[in-house]
Chain A
Amino acid sequence: MKKSVKDLIILENECLNDDSHKIVFQAPDVDSDILPGQFANVLVKDSQTTFLRRPFSFYDVDVDEKSFSLIIKKVGDGTRKLCSVRPGEELSVIYPLGSGFTTPEKDEKVLLIGGGSGIAPMMLMAKKFAPQTSNIHILLGARSQKDHIVLDEFEKVGNLLLTTEDGSIGEKGYVTNHSIFKEISSFDKIYTCGPNPMMEAIGKIAKDNNIFCEVSLENTMGCGFGVCLCCVTPTQEGNKCVCTDGPVFNINELKW
């Protein structure tokens, strides 16, 4: 699918909890080429402090309904403004951008791990590959029960595992403390998106156990399509752009 910059109509804006919203965009040209891990770069209107676009991973793409949705967590003025958008209004979006996660082989056992807003690409990942393998485990981590969102949607697409730092739901601790890691060597592939310390810890476990592992980085971006060189991450082959060479990287490429 070609990249484009378009004004898209907002179909829905659903408040998920105090922090996060699910926003559905009407996108007449979406097709099944959009890969989990790819992102959209959204222009924020009416924010004094927001000049550049804001990147968000695709959470869901509905080719039949010609729409896609993003999950946006409020962390600053840009995301706060986006979460106040009303159905019927338009937002300018550049999409689809970046590379996607590698498709797992048929019947491989995969573990998807999401933390914070990093859960978004894991939904598209699970949906896209559910028909191919019955062996999808999804591990989501959050501070507390109220920070866990869209659990009902995740339950439909894989075996859902949870952690919370306060133990209010699921196992207590960080995602890497979850008991599933006791049997980690039975997994063929691990895919993860979330805060860097979380992904680094997962990457280390994957390396130690010789398991294929891809991470989706969230570096701040200037353009989102490979021309400003502001989003780089050091790799074995020098600095690479997170927006075009990534956001998805194999952990062996990174200098972690």
Chain B
Amino acid sequence: MVKLAVNIDKIQLKNPVLTASGTFGYGKEFEDFIDLDRLGGYIVKGTTLHPRQGNDYPRMAETPAGMLNAVGLQNKGVDYFIDSIYPELTKYNSHMIVNLSGSTVEDYVIAAEKLNELEHMPAIELNISCPNVKEGGMAFGVSCAGAESVVKAVREVYKKTLIVKLSPNVTDVTEIARAVEAAGADSVSLINTLLGMAVDAEKRKPILSTVTGGLSGPAVKPVALRMVWQVFNAVKVPVIGIGGIMNATDAIEFMLAGATAVELGTANFIDPAVTVKVVEGIEDYMKRHSIDDVNDLIGALEV
């Protein structure tokens, strides 16, 4: 038996495979396809203090080996999540993590205080990197001062594991990673989507209602791998790798580059059963390479 468990701060994941926010709904949408309890954990839809309608359609443009989205954090708000979704999710024993966004520091803090009370939720992922809402999100994640201010404020009210999700839309991701670590983050996850754009030449118009959107899928994987490697070498807290992971080999590449765990996003749209296949694929890889403990893969890149 190979050992697949990894630790992110105080929480132990039964394996390193998580799902990326905004690509996995509330998890229950996948019940027909997979056994959620096979996952290390699942990160649910981006949630904000107040309900949001999101951006206008079209919100999606397909690109070579990827897609742009401009969903704009459509969700029913944190109270709805706590009252109507959370109770139903406690039946799964995999770790449930909510992804929290906001447009002001105060919004983040009020919502984080509420989430702190949820017994069956051991962590939150703070999204300071959404490129699709004007009044915030990414605004915090692209400067050290902005990132520090949100993380510090949330840290004061949120007592469990605090994961901070970083934006790739910066000059030096390691500076931001160090700033959020210093402000009290227990872990960093990266990358959120890369700011991009798509044009319809026939109509001479942008495809997305918002003109720009966030790029995800295999197209972003090399950028994500590079950033995970850089951040792994810059901070002490565990790094969670995200970006274009489609199979177990991709996941292992991220672990070798320094990720303790990985999140699968866009891959879920192509194959809703992909997460469990990645868990199995990591196990196979370890057997083939005679590795007993998955932790031995973390940062094991030979350079």
Residues of A within 8 A of B (CB): 2-5, 43, 48-53, 92, 94, 219-234, 238-239
A227 cross-chain contacts in B, Cβ below 8 A: 23-25, 29-30, 268-269
Docked CA distance A239–B53 (Å): 6
Contact across chains for B62 and A228 when beta carbons are under 8 A apart: no
The number of residues on chain B lying at the interface, defined by a beta carbon within 8 Å of a beta carbon of chain A, is 32
Contact of A222 among B32, B54, B67, B271 (CB under 8 A): B67
Given contacts A48-B64, A51-B67, contact A232 B57 (CB under 8 A): yes
Docked CA distance A52–B64 (Å): 10
Docked CA distance A220–B58 (Å): 8
Docked CA distance A221–B69 (Å): 11
Given contacts A50-B62, A222-B67, A227-B29, contact A5 B271 (CB under 8 A): yes
Contact of A228 among B33, B56, B58, B71 (CB under 8 A): B71
Closest to A242 in B: B57
Q: Chain A nearest CB: distance from B217 CB in Å?
A: 6
B56 cross-chain contacts in A, Cβ below 8 A: 234
Which are the 5 A-B pairs with shortest beta-carbon distances?
A230-B60, A227-B25, A223-B269, A3-B32, A2-B32
B 29-88 contacts with A by CB, 8 A: 29-30, 32-33, 53-54, 56-60, 62-67, 69, 71, 74
Interface of B, secondary structure class, is: loop
Q: Does B270 lie at the interface of the complex (its beta carbon under 8 Å from any beta carbon of A)?
A: yes
Contact across chains for B57 and A223 when beta carbons are under 8 A apart: no
Closest to B30 in A: A227
Docked CA distance A239–B63 (Å): 24
Given contacts A5-B272, A50-B62, contact A228 B54 (CB under 8 A): no
B65 cross-chain contacts in A, Cβ below 8 A: 51
Contact across chains for B268 and A223 when beta carbons are under 8 A apart: yes
A51 cross-chain contacts in B, Cβ below 8 A: 62-67, 217-218, 270
Contact across chains for A232 and B54 when beta carbons are under 8 A apart: yes
Closest to B73 in A: A229
A3 cross-chain contacts in B, Cβ below 8 A: 32-33
Name 27 A/B residue pairs within 8 A (Cβ), A-sorted.
A2-B32, A3-B32, A5-B272, A5-B273, A43-B270, A49-B62, A51-B64, A51-B66, A52-B62, A52-B269, A53-B269, A53-B270, A92-B271, A94-B272, A221-B60, A222-B269, A225-B29, A225-B272, A227-B23, A227-B29, A228-B23, A228-B60, A228-B269, A230-B59, A231-B57, A232-B74, A239-B54
Given contacts A53-B269, A227-B268, A228-B269, contact A233 B57 (CB under 8 A): yes
Extra 16 A-B pairs, beta carbons < 8 Å, given A5-B273, A229-B71: A5-B271, A50-B62, A51-B63, A51-B218, A52-B62, A94-B272, A219-B57, A222-B269, A225-B272, A227-B23, A227-B24, A227-B30, A230-B71, A231-B57, A231-B60, A232-B54
Closest to B217 in A: A51
B272 cross-chain contacts in A, Cβ below 8 A: 5, 94, 223, 225
A239 cross-chain contacts in B, Cβ below 8 A: 53-54, 57, 74
Q: Chain B nearest CB: distance from A115 CB in Å?
A: 21
Docked CA distance A180–B64 (Å): 46
Closest to A223 in B: B269
Contact across chains for B74 and A4 when beta carbons are under 8 A apart: no
Contact across chains for B59 and A229 when beta carbons are under 8 A apart: yes
Q: Chain B nearest CB: distance from A241 CB in Å?
A: 10
Q: Does B136 lie at the interface of the complex (its beta carbon under 8 Å from any beta carbon of A)?
A: no
Q: Chain B nearest CB: distance from A40 CB in Å?
A: 14
Given contacts A53-B270, A94-B272, contact A4 B71 (CB under 8 A): no
Q: Does B122 lie at the interface of the complex (its beta carbon under 8 Å from any beta carbon of A)?
A: no
Docked CA distance A231–B33 (Å): 21
A219 cross-chain contacts in B, Cβ below 8 A: 57
B63 cross-chain contacts in A, Cβ below 8 A: 51
Closest to B32 in A: A3
Docked CA distance A52–B22 (Å): 16
A229 cross-chain contacts in B, Cβ below 8 A: 22, 54, 59, 71, 74
Q: Chain B nearest CB: distance from A119 CB in Å?
A: 24
A53 cross-chain contacts in B, Cβ below 8 A: 269-270
Docked CA distance A171–B102 (Å): 57
Docked CA distance A226–B24 (Å): 9
